[in-house]
Structure formats: structure tokens, C-alpha cells
Amino acid sequence: MRKPLKGIILWVAGMAGAVAYSSFTAPHISALPEARLEVYNDSILTRDFLGVNAVYHGFSFMEDPGVKPMTDADRKAEFARVKAMDLKIARTWYRPDWACGDNLYNDFNWQTPRMQAFYAWLDQMKALHVDVALQAGWWFTRDTYHNTRIPADQAKPDPEKDPARFAEWVNASLHQLIKVKGYTNIKYLVLFTEPLNYRSGNQAEGMSSPEYYNVVGTAIHRRLEQSGLRKAVQLVGPNSGSTDTAAFVGWSAGKMNDVIDIYSWHSYNGRQSGTNPPLEYEGWKQIALAGKVKIAHTGKPFWIDEYGASKPTEEVRFRPDYGNYLAQCVAAFTHAGAQSSLLWILFDQKYPASKVTNKDSFYNGIHRWGLVRSPQDDLPDAGKPYAAWYAFGMMSRYLGGRDATPAFKTQSADSLYVVATSPWGKGTSVMVVNASHAARKFTVGFSKPVRARMGRCLYDPAHLPAAGASDILPFDKLFNNVKNNISDELPPRGVAIYTTLKQ
């Protein structure tokens, strides 16, 4: 998602056979039979599952004249939520202007107010054991020739010198952040945002945008190799979106496989950005599989680097049912073999120096796409979570990720989707998502006995936590000495996680 100056491009392709977002189609459903779900916890689907993650920009300490800043109490509450959910990866905005001012060719200044504020956020991420996916610029081609001294329509990239200078800024940034400041939790470098799917900046003379992207990406790769920093980060790209065909992912695998370590792509609304009503599980699984087949020959992992819903209006994200929608997304991505997925976005956030209001849910520079209202907003419940926070928070906390967490093969059945992991290679977590508008009884069978007690966290869209409730849903049921199966019932559109982890 290109933020904050652009809207979402509406693509015109289609995909048949996906299930419409049921918030808008909730027919009466008779009682359904009990279902049998299977967890093959002796058969690994994804060996290095990195968890349920999110885009979360390092803006918390940034202030602008005339804008209400976040208070210490606001930041304390935000970081407490990050800790409670045990976030594994945060993908954050980072562009040349924070250290270069108005021109990429200025001397790098690592002591600017923006950089100091960014360090303060990174301090918190390191303390909270959150790995960081740092943007290597945001807008392509614009950031590769960053220069606000002249009108935007007159500036253009110089392919002879700009890629080397941009790569030097990336290298110097990583040296400052990792070597000097000690942020060794910066483990990923994202090569721009939607660089090949829409135009942001002018085109280099004599080459196409994909060709120039290859030149810049290769320059970054080689400069990091020269400095010894290449081993410190994995390069993520091409961040293709919003597309239901994983556009340019196949091209990247063919041209840039020696540069890219993790392939990534995304869409919105389960097909394309304009899809209305949004699609659920099947739509999102097709999004993931569309790119997976294009990179299969590389043997490399992939991320769904953004996702969410916006149709028919932004109100869809504020409804309790959005928690079920996100759980279906996670189930679809995990079943397709994604190493991770990153929600757009974790919290509503105020973008520095922005006062944009537009159709993409920006209100005076605050982007209302998150799971918690911004304390800098003028909403009545500013700083309070939306209902879907509770579903997402429990997924992030209990499905694990990082440090050798495998995701297991499973068998879902008839609108009940099951996901299973072994957080950190210890114990078992199982998520069951009821996509139906009827209550569902089911039994989950395990191919290998669990032999442990499992607690249940339940997200019920019809019964939300009271104001002031814990940031993470508590266990509401215990299953003692689980061996070969669990039998339970979920309410309509309910989501439950059964886990051997402690509460």
C-alpha cells in the first residue's frame, strides 16, 4: 500500500469461485453436522514459520508542530500491547529524508530529530524482542533520486550514478543502525513498496521500471556484500501489489533470484483492491498460491507482506466480524505455505509531516487502517482497540513464530479451517476458524498424541470483551491431558486457539 499520498489502484482482472465476505451475506443456516478436523503434528508444512505479523511504523516518538503528540502514557500503552501479543516482526517505514534532508547527495546526518525518534522506537522493539523489516526506501523510483529542491516533474533518476548513491545510503543506514546503535534485531530489508505496480516518480531514461529496479536492487546487494553487512539482513521483494496474479513475482524470480532472499506480494479484499464485497478464505488462498507457483523453482520462502479489507467502506474494519475475517486470511496464508504474513496495519498511526485526508482512510495524516485507534486522533474512543484486535492479538501470541517454529499439515472441513503450529518447537497450538454463520461442533484429531493440558482462547464476535479488559483474551476453557483429540463447539463466526502455552 503506497502511503500516504496515493490511493489504491483498481485492477480489472477477476477470479471465480471464491467465497464472498459474509458480513454482507449472512443467510439463515440450519444446524450443521459435527465436523472432523485433522492435525498432522508429525508432518511439517512450513519448517520456519515466522508468525502472524504486521506493518507497524516507527513513528511513536515523532512530533510535528501543531500536531498533538503521543504522550508517554500513550506510548507505554502501545508498547504494552506489542509485548502482550508477542509480535515477532514489525515492518516499518524508512526513507532517505530522515538522514539526508532534502537531497540524497547531502552528507548523512544520523542525529536529526527524525533519526533520534526512530532510535527511540527501535530501542523499544529490541527490548520487546521484535525483529524489524526495514524499508530500503518507500517510493520507487522517487526515493532513488530523492531531491525536493526542484519540482517533482523536473527531477528524474540518473541510472549512471543514483543506484550507487542510493545503495550507499542503504549501506550507511545499516552500518549506523546495526553496527553503531546495536539494533541487531533489524533482520530484513524490504526493497521498496509496490515498486513495479504503479508509478511513483519518473522513469530512468533508456530502461524500463523493472530493469531499473533490478539495477538498484543489485547495487544494494553488492554494496552490502562489500561492507560485510549482507549476511546481517535478508532482502525481501518485490512487494508486488495490489494484484491477484502476484504480478512481477515471476519476473523477479527469473531476474533477481541472486538478490532476493524472501519473495513477497499482496492484495486487498481477497482479490484486487476494488473487489466488493471482499473475498474470504478461498480468495486469499488463491492470492498466496498465485505467487507460490512462480517461485517454486527457487526453493525460497515467501511472505504476504500486506493484506486487509476496505469494501464496501472502511467500516468493515471496525466491525467485530473483521476478527474472523483476519483469522481466515491467516489460515489461508498458512495453508498455502507462507512463511509469514503482515497485516496492514497494526495500529492507526499518524504519519510524520502529513496532514493528508483522502479516500484511503487518511484523516489529517492519521491512517485508520489499524486494530487500535490512534491516541492522536479526534475520535471519541481514541487509543482504544477495535474489536478485531482481540482476534489478531491471540493469533500473534499463541501461534508462535521465529526460532524454529514449524507449521503442521492439517485437514479442514466444511467452513471450519484449522491451523496448527509448534511454537519454538515446543508444545502445540491449534487455531479453528468457523467461517459459518451457524454454531459448529467438531473434533480435532492429532496424528501424534499431545499428552498435555490445552487452554482455549475464544473470540466470539457476538460477545466482545468489556471496556478495560485485558489486551489478550484469557483462557475460557481448559482441556486436561489431551491425547488424540479435542471436541468442542464454536459460535457463529467464532475463532478459537487451543494451546499448550501458558496464558
Q: Which domains does the chain have, with CATH numbers?
A: 35-44+408-499 (2.60.40.1180), 50-403 (3.20.20.80)
SS3 494: coil
3-state secondary structure of 340: strand
Q: Would you report the helix, strand and coil content of the chain in percent, each value rounded to 5?
A: 25, 25, 50
How many Å separate Cα 349 from the centre of its chain?
15
How many Å apart are CA 352 and CA 485, to the nearest integer?
51
Question: Could you tell me the pTM of the whole model?
Answer: 0.93
At a CB cut-off of 8 Å and minimum separation 6, what does 254 contact? Answer: none
**26, 43, 278, 283, 443 from 492: Cα distances, Å:** 10, 30, 19, 21, 17
> What per-residue confidence (pLDDT) applies to 19?
38
Identify the pLDDT of residue 4: 54
pLDDT over 80 at 473, yes or no: yes
The mean pLDDT of the chain is: 92
pLDDT of residue 281: 97
Average pLDDT over residues 102-116: 97
Q: State residue 467's pLDDT score.
A: 67
E strand residue ranges, 28-87: 35-46, 52-55
Q: Which amino acid is at 293?
A: V
- Spell out the residues 6+ positions from residue 447 whose beta carbon is closer than 8 angstroms to its own: 38, 39, 40, 41, 42, 43
- Tens of pLDDT along 288-315? 999 999 999 999 999 999 999 999 999 9
User: Which residue intervals of 296-428 are DSSP H helices?
Assistant: 321-336, 388-398
Count Cβ neighbours within 10 Å for each residue of 24-35 and write b for 16 or more, e otherwise. eeeeeeeebeeb
Predicted local confidence at residue 242, as pLDDT: 81
For residue range 330-365, list pLDDT tens digits in order.
999 999 999 999 999 999 999 999 999 999 999 999
Query: What phi and psi values does residue 455 have, to the nearest 5 degrees?
Result: -95, 150
- pLDDT of 30: 56
Q: For residue 12, is pLDDT > 70? A: no
For residue 221, the surrounding DSSP H or E stretch is helix 209-227
Beta strands in 230-382 (DSSP E): 234-240, 262-265, 302-304, 340-343, 349-350, 362-363, 366-367
CB of 383 closer than 8 Å to CB of 391: no
pLDDT value, residue 173: 98
Q: What is the pLDDT of residue 13?
A: 33
CA dist 12 → 15, 197, 273, 275, 321 (Å): 10, 13, 10, 9, 27
Decide: 217 and 191 in contact? Cβ < 8 Å. yes
Alpha helix (H) ranges present in 307-378? 321-336
Which of 150-159, 201-210, 265-274, 292-301 is most confident? 292-301
Distance CA 98, CA 208 (A): 28
pLDDT at 18: 36
**Which pLDDT band holds residue 16 (cuts at 50, 70, 90)?**
very low
| Reported confidence tier of residue 163, pLDDT bands at 50, 70, 90 | very high
Considering only residues 274 and 331, tell me which one the structure prediction assigns the higher pLDDT: 331
The pLDDT of residue 67: 87
- CA gyration radius, the chain: 22
pLDDT at 379 over 50: yes
**Is residue 14 predicted with pLDDT exceeding 50?**
no
CB atoms within 10 A of CB 399: 26
- Nearest alpha-carbon partner for 246 in 310, 196, 190, 297: 196
Quote the strand ranges of 287-428, DSSP E.
302-304, 340-343, 349-350, 362-363, 366-367, 407-411, 416-421
Choose between 469 and 447: higher pLDDT.
447
**The predicted structure's pLDDT at residue 488:** 98
- Is 50 exceeded by the pLDDT of residue 20? no
Place of cell 467438531: 442
Rounded to an integer, what distance in angstroms lies between the CA atom of residue 423 and that of residue 238? Answer: 29
pLDDT at res. 15: 33
Q: Which residues contact 356 (CB under 8 A, 6 or more apart)?
A: 4, 5, 362, 364, 365
What CA–CA distance (Å, rounded) separates 21 from 435?
10
At residue 458, the pLDDT reads: 98
Q: What percent of the chain has pLDDT over 70?
A: 93
pLDDT for residue 2? 53
Residue for cell digits 520456519? 48
Q: Give the pLDDT score at 24.
A: 44
Average pLDDT over residues 26-44: 81
- Residue 434 pLDDT greater than 50, yes or no: yes
State yes or no: pLDDT of 92 exceeds 90: yes
Helix (H, G, I), strand (E, B) or coil at 79: helix
* pLDDT at residue 33 in the model: 82
Confidence check: pLDDT of 7 > 80: no
